[in-house]
Copies of this chain bind each other. A is one copy, B any other.
Amino acid sequence: MLKISKKADYALMALQHIAVVQFGDVTPGRVVNTKEIAEEYNIPLELLAKVLQTLAKHALIESHNGPKGGYLLARRAHQITIAQILESIEGPLGITDCSHEKDGELCMQRENCHIRTPLLKVQDSIAQLLNNMTLQDMMGGTPLITIQSPAAQGVER
């Protein structure tokens, strides 16, 4: 349960790779193309292309066309959160269907639903978790963060 899609998985791998290449010590500033990543991690080329294209559209990376082209991180690694990456690929975080319900479309269960509030607390905790973790952390950074469990914030009676 709560599994993230393969596309999101690929996105994380790709960004981690780009970050290391671009900000690492070996070849700083180098542009990296789709093919290189696909071969390195055994990812279907065309699918990865689509993932990177989505990330570019969400302004997490910059695309450079033509020969010697490829992708570059749009920001520094510590400014890109895991939450941003996942949301680019899979849409906004939502444990339940009614997480971002507009005023018009409310679910049939809403009226008597007693689990919405506690679940939203859980969701907030996970969001906090993903927002406090960045690409930098995946490169070896060691930030120190502490978050609160939703139960500690008080649950609706």
Contact = CB atoms under 8 A, between A and B. Distances in A.
Interface stretch (A26-34, A50-58, A64-72, A149-157): A149-157
Interface in A99-139: 108-109, 111-115, 118-119, 122, 125-126, 129-130, 132-133, 137-138
Interface residues of A, number: 64
A143 B96 CA distance: 23
A41 B113 CA distance: 7
Contact of A3 (B95, B114, B125, B152): B95
Given A3-B97, A155-B142, A132 B149 contact: yes
Contacts of A132: 149, 151
A137 B118 contact: yes
A139 to B, nearest CB: 8
Contact of A151 (B86, B97, B144): B144
Contacts of A142: 151, 154-155
B126 A2 contact: yes
Contact of A138 (B12, B145, B155): B155
Contact of A41 (B91, B95, B112, B118): B112
Contact of A125 (B96, B108, B129, B137): B129
A43 to B, nearest CB: 7
Nearest to A4: B95
